[in-house]
Structures are given as C-alpha cells and as structure tokens.
Amino acid sequence: MNRYLYKGDADGRFARYLGNHDRAFLSGLFRSMLRIRRIEEEIERRYQQDHMKTPIHLVIGQEATGIGCCAALERDDLVFAGHRTHGAYLSKGGDLKAMLSEMHCRLNGCAGSRGGSMHLIDKSVGMAGTSAIVGGAVPIATGAALASQMQELNRVCVIFLGDATTEEGVTSESLNFAALKKLPIVYFCENNFYSVQSPLATRQPPEREIYKWAQGHALPAVQVDGTDVLAVYEAMKVAVECARSGGGPTFIEARVYRFRAHGGAGDDSKTGYREIQEREAWEKLCPVENFAQFLQDRGMLAAAMREEMEADIRDEIEQAFEFALASPNPQEKDLYTHVYAD
C-alpha cells in the first residue's frame, strides 16, 4: 500500500469543522489561499526568465496550512519558518512587493536583498524570520517563545517545519525544552512525505507516525488533514489558546502534498522518486479548488465574486512584479550595510 496517499475522509472535508463560521470569514480564507496559489503560479511562470536571483521552494498544494494557521493568530504573534517560506510570509501578512523585490535581489526587498526567497521577513506583521538550514529556525522560535514567557508578552510563536526537520536533533531538543518550560509555541509540521527526493520510508521507521513521535516529548500532539483549511484552523485555535493561557506547546502534524518539485519551477516526479499517479491523486484533492467547490455548493461563493477575486489578485500581482523589477539594485556602497563584525 502507498503510505503517501491521502488517508482522510475526502467527502467530509470542510463540513466537519464548518461550525458557525460566517460567509465573510470563509470566503476570506478562500481568497487568501487563491492569492497564494496565483502568486506562486506567476513566480513559477517567470522563474525561467532568470530575473529572480534566488532558489525557490513553491507551496503550490500547501496553501491551506499557512492560511489556516495564521487565521488563528494575532498580529503580534510571531511566525518562523524554514526554506519553504512563501506561504508563511504571505499568510502572516507579509508585503508582496517587498517579497518580490527580495526575490529579484533589489535593495528594497524585505531582507534588504541579502536573503532571497528563503529568508523572507516582515517584523511589522510578526513574520519573524527563517533559516535555510534544515532545523535552524526551530531553536530560534523556541528561544523567542522563552522570551515571550519571561517578558510576559502574551505572544504566541509558531514554527513551520517539514517532516525532514523532525529528524534534526535540535528539533527534539527544542520540543523537550518547550515541554519542560511550558513555552507558548506551536510546532506546525507540514508532512509532505519527502525530503528533497527522499521519501519518508528511507528516513524513518515505517510504523512511526510523526505526531506520535512528538507526543513522546510529553506535549499534546495531533494529526490534521492539511488539505482542509478549516481543520487546520480548528487545531490551531486549540493550540494557540493553550499556549496563550500558559498551557504550553503543541505539535501539529498536517499531512499535505507539494504539487511541484522540491525546488525550482515545474514538477520533477518523472525522475522517479515519487509516482506520477500519487501526485495526480493529491491534485484532485486540491485545497484551493475543493474549498471553492464546497463554498459554491452552499451558495457562499458566487461565480461573479470568484471572478472579481481573480481580477483583483491578478492586478495586485502584476503591479507587485512591476514594482520589483523597477526597484534599485544594491550598489557597491551598500555592501557593508547589514553586515556585523567585531
């Protein structure tokens, strides 16, 4: 049996956690996911032109995790991530123009042209920082949660990590420390089953479930359907409430699938490390289009509303690319700014 196929109840998706959410909230979640999808598609389309001077790790297929998570957060809460940062940055409210400028290596990029796609940051909205070193941001987020606790800031920290990041020793150390100190942090694992082109089965014992491994550190850990934005939101609400009220950390494992290659544009399934049918099966469960269908079926997303969203998003993306491409390149005199040395 293929362990990497969807194992939830596809027909019950969205309805399970619909609750009393109103139309504005639900269509807002959809719009935010659609926006990320369209931004990623345009980045992918333009990537071959080679104006973007950065590696990229697209989140196409993984939109529901960032949006579901960040909908449960306050502006002052802090989000950290690894190398796959676009979804987290945009979900937390990061500025698109600053993101695209960064990816074009322009001076007004959100990391001053020093970071590229893997180091998106926007302190004004609590997008606190990322690390391209797998596992590198996990202790940093844990330290920020310790600071929040010591300074009584009432601020929750969230770290997005991949399944391979659970294999780094520092992730275990961080979970242990957070559980011991009851830190206000959520470890949000996007389990997409692959580390670059290595499937889970080549890296972890086959009988192990990641959330159960996390439970071994004596903290609440749950598994959610990462294609269901409402399921993600619900799990995050519980975790955030727990963290904010002094109850300590939670680990959430969301099963998701990336529709594109580990890095760069396009899909790389044909190289043989994953089955093309596996990707196609997950694409049918698309978190964006399936949620659209769910809302349409309930009269909560009219065709005209969708078209308006698409047009607005298209305009926003076009303008943001124009802005980035017209932005200044760093000059030699800028070489020593943002550089720290004793």
- Smallest separation, CB 338 to ligand TPP (Å): 22
Contact yes or no for 67/228 (Cβ under 8 A): no
- Smallest separation, CB 267 to ligand TPP (Å): 14
- Smallest separation, CB 144 to ligand TPP (Å): 20
Residue 121 or 301 with smaller CB distance to ligand TPP: 121
Q: What angle do CA 150, 89, 251 make, to 5 degrees?
A: 55
- The neighbour count for residue 14, using CB atoms within 10 Å, is 22
- Smallest separation, CB 33 to ligand TPP (Å): 18
Residue 224 or 317 with smaller CB distance to ligand TPP: 224
DSSP state of 330: P
- Smallest separation, CB 84 to ligand TPP (Å): 4
Nearest-CB residue for ligand TPP? 162
Phi and psi dihedrals of 199, rounded to 5? -70, 160
- Smallest separation, CB 255 to ligand TPP (Å): 12
Contact yes or no for 183/249 (Cβ under 8 A): yes
Q: Tell me the pairing of strands 185-191 and 157-162.
A: parallel
Residue 180 or 196 with smaller CB distance to ligand TPP: 196
Residue 115 or 162 with smaller CB distance to ligand TPP: 162
The helix (run of H) or strand (run of E) holding residue 185 is strand 185-191
Cα 320 to Cα 303: distance, rounded to the nearest angstrom: 26
Residue 268 or 310 with smaller CB distance to ligand TPP: 268
Residue 139 or 162 with smaller CB distance to ligand TPP: 162
Helix 169-181 to helix 137-150 angle (10° resolution) is 10
Tokens read off for 220 = 């609440």
Residue 178 or 256 with smaller CB distance to ligand TPP: 256
Distances (CA, A) of 269 to 68, 248, 260, 282: 27, 40, 8, 13
- Smallest separation, CB 316 to ligand TPP (Å): 26
Tokens read off for 211 = 């959330």
Q: Is the torsion defined by CA of 236, 238, 243, 248 positive or negative?
A: negative
Q: Which residues of the shown chain bind ligand TPP in the complex (CB under 6 A)?
A: 83-84, 132-134, 162-165, 192, 194-196, 262
